Structures are given as structure tokens and as C-alpha cells.
Structure 1
Amino acid sequence: MSNRSFLSILKLLILSVVLAFTSNVYADPIKAAFVYIGPTGDHGWTYAHHQGAQYVKKMMGDDVMITEIESVPENSDSERVITSLARKNDIIFTTSFGYMNPTIKVAKQYPDVKFEHATGYMLEDNISVYSARFYEGRHVIGKIAGRMTKSNIIGYIASFPIPEVIRGINSAYLAAKSVNPDVSIKIVWVYTWEDPGKEADAARALIAQGADILMQHTASTSPMTVAEEKGIYAFGQSSDMREWGQNAQLSGIINDWGPYYLERVQAVANGTWASANVFDGVQQGMVKFAPMNQNMPTDVKNEAMKAIIDLSMGAIHPFTGPINKQDGSPWLVEGETPPNYPDLLTMDFYVEGIDSKYPN
């Protein structure tokens, strides 16, 4: 064998070893765990995350092992669950805001494990945070609601008074107001992410106040069921809820976590994972929409579709001035959008025109 042939073979061997190493630095399957606030069958928030986890399994096959823990309360139980998972997993996704402090605490004890916390804001070297621009979805359904309401009253079932939820209320109201100056919004706080009974009671209370369209930032399908029973309209949350409101559902916000989860698990596999703060929306495909109701007028549907296209192109922002805070003080001047990321991330006020008392 000539020296040239020997060197060529050696180069090929070295290249194959390098490619094998960089394609997956783990010899065994990656172990990925998901912690959920509700049951995977809620057909809302948890169901969407479960679908994302299953997408990872579908795409990676035997190269990943998925563990899912359902209905974990946002208390000391969550810390115990996360700790148990950290002992035997490479990456853990904690999928509710209230898991933030337990995730931080456990992550410090297991620095070699990667953690991904949904909707939080506290980063560490081995913790990433991620969320979707749900307020972009609220902008679209707000426009639909403003056009479709007959009573000019929109009912909103809210979970907890955290910035994520406040952003959604403000975005929906501003969008509805932009197409219907006479619209108002009634808000009922249920102080839970998922409780079918409380959500149904809230829906009925809002209908009693005159609401003929319901929005929700909660996980169960019970508000949609109530809307169907009462003959009014509603919007699905996190997932397509048409099965519970064939006539009631006008559309719905769908959270597509699958591509993000796949990217992050693969990053662990190839050794490129790094702490990050991800806040994606319609443009990135993390926020999508359920089909429009067939009974929706063509002009309303076209207006909603235009808003979706504009959001996907980055041509519009749901918070574009002039916008004042509820007390009348200015927030954004004419044509201005939030100049700083924290202006959205820490939103703690209603916008002008919402007459509900801001919650403690």
C-alpha cells in the first residue's frame, strides 16, 4: 500500500469517528422527561405538550426515551418529582409557570442535567426558558370576537394574574376594540390552570353578565361545552376543541411545541445544548390556529387570515400605540411598539378601556 493510499484511508477513518461523535455524543438513547400540570387528556395545555413529546419520539425513534408525569401540583410535590427525574434523565421539561422555583432548586443540585422551563424567566447555565407569544393569537381571535359579538360583551376566563395572562387579556381587548369601538370585556379569575367545574361556573357567570363570546386562558374543554349548550361562540385554548363545540368554536389558539422539543433534545444528543431564552410566535410556527367556523362571514374570516399572515411576516405588532394604561397614563405613543422585551415579559397592568378591577 502506498503512503498516499494509507493517508487517504486514515483520513476517512478519522472523519467517520468525528461524524459519529458529533452526530450523537451519547452512546445510549437520550432520556427526556416532561412534567405536566394537568392530565394529557385535557385537550388543552397539557395535551399540547404531550403532543410535542410524542412528536420527539416519532422523529427520533429509538434514539430517545420519553417519560411523562401528569397532574403534578405546583407545590412541594413538583420538587420531589423533578428531583426523582433528575436522577435518571438527561433533559427535563417542566411545563408550567409554578414549577419555576422547584426547577431552579433542583437544577443547582444536578448541574449535568439540562432543564427547560415553560413560561418562566429565571435562567441558569443548565436551565433554559421558553414560551410562546400567545398574545399574538389573542390579537387574531380578538378581531374575530369584536366582529362576531352581538351583545358587545366578551367573556374572559382567566387563570392566574401573571404577565402571560395579562398580556393575553390586553391583546384580545385591544384587537376587539380596533374593529368594534363599543365592545367591552368581562373577566372572571378562577385561580387554577385546569378545573373543569370552576371553568364551567365561570363560563355561566360570564354568560349571565351578557357575554355572547367566551375566551379562556385555562386548560379544560368545559367552557367550550357550556358555550355549545348555551348557543354562543367560544375559542379553543392550546388545542383544537371543535369536538366539544361543533357550532360554538369560532377558531382557537394551538400551541405547537413539537419542533422546539425536538431541537432541544437533539441539541443534548449532539452536545450543542446551551441555556437560552426563547419567545416564539406565529412567525416561528409555535402559535397556530384551529380552522375557522364555517358560519363565520367571509369578510371576518378574511380579516383574521390577513392578521395571521401579517403576524407571520412580522408586519404588525399586537401592541402598537397609542396605548394608555388603565389609569390613563401613557404607555406607547402613536406607532410605537414595546421598546424593550421586559415591557412584555413583566406586564402588570390593564390597558385603558378595561373596566374590571386589576387583580391582586
Structure 2
Amino acid sequence: MLKRTITKALTAGLAAAAFSASALAAEDSIKVGFVYVSPIGDAGWTYQHDQGRKAMEEALGDKVTTQYVENVPEGADAERVIQQLASGGADLVFTTSFGYMNPTIKVAKRFPDTAFEHATGYKRADNVGTYMPRLYEGRYLAGMVAGAKTETNKLGFVAAFPIPEVIRAINAFTRGARAVNPEVAVNVIWINAWYDPSKARQAAETLMDQGADVVTHHTDSHAVVQAAAERDKFAIAYHSDMSKYGGESHLTAVVHEWGDFYTKRAREVLNGEWSSRNVWGGIASGMVDIAAFSDAVPEGVRGKVEKAREAIVSGELHPFAGPVVAKDGTEKAAKGEALSDDELLRMDYYVQGVASKLPQQ
């Protein structure tokens, strides 16, 4: 049901990207609120967003005052917190989790003079913009590292929810791995939570019990990396560099950088230039990248990954360039073509190389 709802709503969401609200009035200083789905901690999705908030404060100085609320569940609690920030005088509110989408839209209707930015969603309005990283670019590179390092040809992926964002990540990781090692198979375990360290750890341990010698995750904690280190297996982190938890097991990480984007959007509100639009930034924009390699990654592998990174930035390499073949054998993109943004946003299938079954919604 969830994927059908997402697919149905995407048409309206993509159409909304074409129109924008009239710019808000310029201000001498503004208040900016942030809503976080998990504790800030010192690594992970929320940590990276908070680093972006701090970078924005440093860039704009006394022209901006920020407030954040962490560990906010998706749903009714999110709507309450977003409303509190808006009613408290926030000129701009960033809501940083997929499940905040409908609460953001609801609150935005009540506060038409406040600008809202929702991360990873697809619903927009006159005063609601959306933003998302092209994380699949970093995932492809990370897959290359994993495919080159595995000795069992089994990789493990701990995933949050079966929505297009996460499915894209799994598929890009798989395609990157098979680009350097066609024998690789990726097993996936869904924990149905963005932040649940206990479930993430258990899933990682199960994947390693099944033979995976390199694991990664699309969840907001360092549990998977830590579990791999304890088993003397390898891990590739997500959201931020987690080498402090993985030691020699931490090969690299797919990282997000939000500072430039947050500063830009806040400056637009200050100058009365903000308008609703969809932003989807990748490696070239600085929103996504791959972290430093550990000593366990051979120089030859590093060179291949860096070359692929440069090709992605230049546009010569697309992680979903054809042939793209689904697990059931259906061709999704022919040789010489690439999946469009619209097709990427609707992705609801595994590519060849993913060993697990996709949950039915």
C-alpha cells in the first residue's frame, strides 16, 4: 500500500516542482527551526543535518538564530513540533525525515508566511520546498569498494523502509559492486525503522551469519559498523564517517553535506528570494560524497573508485545507465540509455544481483 501511495502521489509532487511561491519579504534577521528524527549523537543522518545547521550559523552570524528538536517520531508528534516552531516565530523550518512529509504540508497551510523545507519527500506547496541527495551516486562508489573487498561474494545491507529512496540505494550499491565483481550477491534485511540500533545490530549479525563479509546500512546509527568490527568483518558506513566505531573494519562511508544548502536557503529567506522548488543534489553539488578510505582499501581499488567519481561528476557515468535489468529479468533501461529522474523516484524493484525478495506493500 505504501509504495502504491507514493507512486500515485509522485505525479502531483513532480508537477508542483514547476511552480513556485512569490518570494517572501526580506528580513534583517531570521529564526530557523530544525526537526530531527533521531538523537544528534556524533555520527549519522541527524548528526550530519546538525552539522549543516552549525555551518549555516557560522556563515550567517547574527542574521540567523536557530532552534532544533531531536528524536521526534514521525506522525502526530512531528506535526505538534513543527507547529510549535512555526508558532514560535520561525521564518524557515527544515523537517528532516521522510515521514514528516504530511505533517509539514498540514502545518504549512496554517502558516502561509513561513517557509518550509522537507527532506526526501515529494509533496510541495507555495511555501513548502523539498530537497534530497542523489545518494545513489555515493552508493554506487561504495558498492565498488565492497565488491572489490569481499572474499565470500556475499554483501549485506541493513535497510529501513521499502520506499524508493532506500530501494535506489540498494540497487546502486549492487550495481557498483557488480561493476567490479560480477559474482557478487547482496542480501537485504529490512528493520522498518530509521533509528533502532538494536534491530540494526541484529540484522547485521544475521547477514554476517549468512556469509556476508562486507555490510552496509541505510539506518541512522553506527550499530552496523560496530557489529562488523566485533566480528572482524568489513563495513561501509552511511550518512557520516563512522571510522571511530569501526576501526580497521571501516572501509569508507557515503556522506551527506548540508551546510551549503542550508546556508543558501536561509540567505534566500533573508533576501526575500526564497521560493518553493525541488532540489536533488549529488556529488557535483557537494551534497553527497564518499569519505576517506581506510588502509584496508588497496590503492588500485581507490584509483578505480576515484576515476568513477570523476566520471559521475562530469556526467560520463550514470549509476543507472543501461542495461538496467530488474531481478525478474525485465529490462528497465536499454544499453545507451539511463533511467530518468522520474523513473528513479518511482523505483519499486530490485536489480539483478540482489538476492533477497522485496517486501510486498
Does TM, scored on the shorter chain, surpass 0.5?
Answer: yes
In structure 2, the residue matched to 1:215 is 216
> Tell me, what secondary structure is at the counterpart of 2:66?
strand
Name stretches of at least 5 consecutive residues in structure 2 with no aligned partner.
1-22
Q: Does residue 303 of the first structure (1) align with residue 307 of the second (2)?
A: no
Following superposition, the deviation at residue 42 of structure 1 comes to 5.1
C-alpha separation in 2, matches of 1:92 and 1:83 = 10
User: Does the aligned pair in 1 maintain the 2:124–2:130 contact within 8 Å?
Assistant: yes
Paired with 1:166 and 1:85, the residues of 2 have a C-alpha distance of 32
2:51 aligned partner, one-letter code:
Q
Percentage of identical aligned residues:
44
Give the equivalent residue in structure 2 for 1:153.
154
Residues 42 and 219, structure 1, Cα contact 8 Å, conserved in 2: no
Work out the CA distance in 1 between the residues paired with 2:354 and 2:251. 23
TM-score, normalisation: structure 1: 0.91
Report how many residues are paired.
Answer: 336
Equivalent positions of 1:141-290 (< 5 A) are 141-290=142-291
Distance of 1:359 and 1:200 partners within structure 2: 20
Query: 1:294 — aligned with what?
Result: 295
Structure 2 matches for 1:38-117, cutoff 5 A? 38-41=38-41, 43-87=43-87, 88-117=89-118
In structure 2, distance between residues paired with 1:229 and 1:358 = 29
Cα displacement (A) at 1:207: 0.4
Q: Provide the rounded CA distance (Å) in 2 between the counterparts of 1:342 and 1:287.
A: 20
TM-superposed CA distance for 1:335, in Å, is: 1.8
SS, match of residue 272 in structure 1: coil
How far apart are 1:75 and its partner, in Å?
Answer: 1.4
**Alpha-carbon distance between aligned partners in 1 of 2:289 and 2:341, rounded to the nearest angstrom:** 22
Residues 42 and 221, structure 1, Cα contact 8 Å, conserved in 2:
no
Q: Does structure 2 retain, via aligned residues, the 8 Å contact 1:283–1:314? A: no
Deviations 1:26-68 (A, max 9, x none): 13x2100000000111510000000000001111111100001
Q: What is the distance in 1 between the residues matched to 2:145 and 2:355?
A: 21
1:36·1:71 contact (CA, 8 Å) conserved in 2?
yes
| C-alpha contact (below 8 Å) 1:239/1:254 kept by paired residues | yes
CA distance in 1, matches of 2:235, 2:188: 14
Residues 216 and 225 of structure 2 are in contact (CA less than 8 Å); yes or no, is this contact kept in structure 1?
no
1:33 aligns with 2:33: yes
> In the alignment, is residue 136 of structure 1 matched against residue 137 of structure 2?
yes
- Give every structure 1 segment of 4 or more consecutive aligned residues whose post-TM-superposition deviation is greater than 6 Å: none
Equivalent-residue separation in structure 1 for 2:94 and 2:253 (angstroms): 25
Per-residue deviation at 1:69? Answer: 0.5
**TM-score where L is the length of structure 2:** 0.91
- Whole-Å Cα distance in 2 between the matches of residues 113 and 175 of structure 1? 41
**Which structure has the larger Rg over C-alpha atoms?**
1
Cα pair 2:141 2:290 within 8 Å, conserved: no
Q: Distance in 2 between matches of 1:321 and 1:255?
A: 26
Residue 13 of structure 1 is matched in structure 2 by none
2:142–2:290 contact (8 Å) kept in structure 1? no
Counterpart residue number, 1:318: 319
| RMSD, matched Cα | 1.2
User: How many Å separate the matches in 1 of 2:341 and 2:230?
Assistant: 41
Could you tell me whether the CA contact under 8 Å between 1:46 and 1:219 is conserved in 2?
yes
Q: Contact between 2:215 and 2:228, CA under 8 Å: does it hold in 1?
A: yes
Relative contact order, higher structure (CA 8 A, sep 6+): 2
Maintained 8 Å contact 1:42/1:220:
no
3-state SS of 1:198 partner: helix
Look up the SS of the partner of 1:40 in the other structure. coil
Q: Are 2:132 and 2:281, in contact at CA under 8 Å, matched by a contact in 1?
A: yes
